[in-house]
Amino acid sequence: MQLENETLRVTLLADGCHIAEIFHKQAAISPLWIPPWLTANIKQDAETAEAYGPDRHFLASVMGHHVCLDMFGEPSESERSAGFELHGEASLVSYDCFVVDGKIHATAHLRRSALRLSRSIHLGPDGYSVSICETVENLLPIDRPIAWTQHVTLGPPFLVPGVTRIRMNPIRSRVANTHLDQGELNPGADFTWPNAPSHDEDTHNLSIFADRNRSASLTTHRMERNVSDVGFTAFCPLRNMIFGYQWNSQDFPWLVMWEENKFRHDFPWNHRTVACGLEFGVSPFPESRRQMVDRRSLFNTPTFRWLGAKSKLSASYSAFLYSADQANLDYRSEIPT
């Protein structure tokens, strides 16, 4: 399903409600990630399904921007036995989608999670922005803790190692303490954006997407408190394009940055994937539900949201994509020579 104006085209997939592209027509580019392995139908090919592993449905469908609900990270063993995969079921189920008055409306009943997720998407009057509103409804008669993260991932040709720049203004940052693909950064270290400490007592500038051979990192960033327009921008000098998101930090206080530069060797990553996740939500790290609740807080900030019995939570945010020539900030000074 698509929306478009003279400048942008937005494509939403009914299966999983992934925003698959935000495409700039004049520049002929979408910054959102399309994984290189999205070719197999695992429902029809048992051998391929086995190769994808326990998160087979998630890996075979993930792209662009999807919602992690009501977990952000790995399910527990018992949750896997009940049918859950990485980041919950919101990115796997089919949505009822329709367009009314220039807005896409998408709704799904998450049966295993006993939640209802609704999303509306429309193009902004400025011609270069996309507005998104989400509502999560608890179908159970009990209060419950939830994770709720917007899993935005950038990819080529917008994402270029050593070239693409990332801007944000967090007040505190930390390297993930345990992560299989942590790479060169010092696990658990606190730092000031953008200079993350590494094992060799040097620092890596996270504002420039990694250009080291086979690198990976996972960091979390506490955004400014009680600010209605926090966010990030990504600049691709080779295309002279700026992409980003804005949101209210009271809704989503955390931004998780995930870098993957041909680091993971297992299928379907195969040392060939280039991606950068800029994932904003209510939790600082992708981890199990029990770990999320046991953590309780980080930097004096809760690590999950409470959703009341038979109640709803709503949040709005926006994306934008335009030429750097339109920007108030001088990105041109950052173009490498």
Q: How far is CA 210 from the centre of its chain?
A: 18
Report which DSSP code applies to 333.
G
Question: Is the pTM value of this prediction over 0.85?
Answer: yes
Q: Are 67 and 89 in contact (CB under 8 A)?
A: no
Angle at 130 between CA 104 and CA 20, to 5 degrees: 70
Binning pLDDT at 50, 70 and 90, where does residue 39 land?
A: low
DSSP H or E segment with residue 213: none
Residues in a beta bridge with 232: 245
Architecture of domain 2-334: Distorted Sandwich (2.70)
CB of 285 closer than 8 Å to CB of 255 = no
- Given a contact cutoff of 8 angstroms between Cβ atoms, the answer to whether 67 and 252 are in contact is no
- CA 305 – CA 288 distance, rounded (Å): 15
Please state, as a whole number, how many other Cβ atoms lie within 10 Å of the Cβ of residue 58. Answer: 20
Quickly state the pLDDT bin for 337 (edges 50, 70, 90): very low
**Distance of alpha carbon 258 from alpha carbon 218, whole angstroms:** 5
Q: What percentage of the chain exceeds 90 in pLDDT?
A: 82
Contact 20, 13 (CB under 8 A): yes
Round to whole Å and give the CA distance between 223 and 209: 20
Query: Domain boundaries in the chain?
Result: 2-334
For the CA atoms of 288, 294, 299, 305, the dihedral, rounded to the nearest 10 degrees, stands at 70
The SS3 assignment for 257 reads strand
Confidence of residue 330 (pLDDT cuts 50, 70, 90): low
Q: Which helix (H) or strand (E) holds 120?
A: strand 115-123
pLDDT digits (tens, 9 = 90+) for 213-238: 888 999 999 999 988 899 999 999 99
